[in-house]
Amino acid sequence: MAQTQPQPRIEWIEETSSTNADIRERALAGERGPLWLAARRQTAGRGRRGRVWSGLTGNLFTTGLYTLQSDPGRAAELSFAAALAVAAVCDSATRDPSVTRLKWPNDALVHGRKVAGILLESGPAPEGGLWLAVGIGINLAAAPDDVERPATSLDRHGATLSPDAALETLVNAFERERQAWQLGGFGPIRDRWLTRAHGLGQPCEARLEGETVKGVFADLGPDGALRLDLVGGGRRYISAGDVFFPDAG
């Protein structure tokens, strides 16, 4: 039977260290959501693998809280739904869907530069089920310069969007994708993500724990793993790692 959820609440706060940390705290205290918490300023945001997410003024810092009757592996599929929701935000600002691409596993690019990142976290909910935090940062007005991969903001491309408008679009788009996932599974989400995939069919390098693997980004597996057709033959499915392409990563 399909899970049903009420419409998510939206809550703004002026400043926090991390919206993901706040949502985790609320989830462990019994909040079940759906709720989107957004901050005007964020002082200690995090990305994947403990990386810092810069809290530049005018950008969007938000985390959604959902309680699911799913295992963590299936819940992780919603990172692709979140990426599609971020793309909807970028499309609403640029008016040109062709400039926004999605980079495995959880980045959005505008004109080839990182404009947004996604961080999902989860754990057992106190009253049953799994709490899921969907953390999203979008560079609306500014982008950091001291980063591993080139970054940009929507404003740098003449696409002005306020944090309030961006959040409304994001929440509505994520709800559409989440409901599609709930009713139809991961397949349709996967297919839509692939139409925007950065580097599909191109050579890349996957940097994993203890090794680096080279090949061609050929497809996504049924669980969202990146299918790498290896140099010299064979294939490998990558579930976690950093992927770099020759065109600046």
The CA–CA distances, whole Å, from 192 to 86, 116, 147, 166, 242 equal 13, 18, 29, 21, 22
pTM value is 0.92
The pLDDT value recorded for residue 54 is 53
Q: For residue 10, give the 3-state DSSP assignment.
A: strand
With residue 180 as reference, give the H or E element that holds it: helix 163-184
Complete edge-to-edge strand list for the sheet that includes strand 242-244: 235-238, 226-230, 211-220, 203-208, 242-244
**Per-residue H/E/C for 20-62:** HHHHHHHHHCCCCCCEEEEEEEECCEECHHHCEECCCCCCEEE
CA atoms within 13 A of residue 230's CA, in its CB half-sphere: 9
pLDDT, one tens digit for every residue, the chain (249 residues): 445 567 899 999 999 999 999 999 999 999 999 999 999 999 876 654 444 455 688 999 999 999 999 999 999 999 999 999 999 999 999 999 999 999 999 999 999 999 999 999 999 999 999 999 999 999 999 998 866 678 999 999 999 999 999 999 999 999 999 999 999 999 999 999 999 999 999 999 999 888 999 999 999 999 999 999 998 889 999 998 889 998 654
* CATH classification (class only), 203-244: mainly beta
Domain spanning 9-194: CATH 3.40.50.2300: no
Residue 55 confidence (pLDDT): 65
Measured CA to CA, the distance from residue 87 to residue 27 in angstroms comes to: 27
User: What is the pLDDT at residue 49?
Assistant: 44
Tell me the Ramachandran region of residue 239: left when phi exceeds 0, alpha when psi lies from -120 to 50, beta otherwise. Answer: alpha
For residue 70, what pLDDT is reported?
A: 93
- Report residue 18 CA to chain centroid gap: 16
Domain chopping of the chain, boundaries = 9-194, 203-244
Question: What one-character DSSP code corresponds to residue 99?
Answer: G
Looking at residue 146, its pLDDT comes to 65
Its sign, for the CA torsion 83, 85, 90, 91, is: positive
Decide if 30 contacts 127 (C-beta within 8 A).
yes
Q: How much is the pLDDT for 5?
A: 65
Omega before 72 cis (within 30°)? no
CA distance 235 to 227: 7
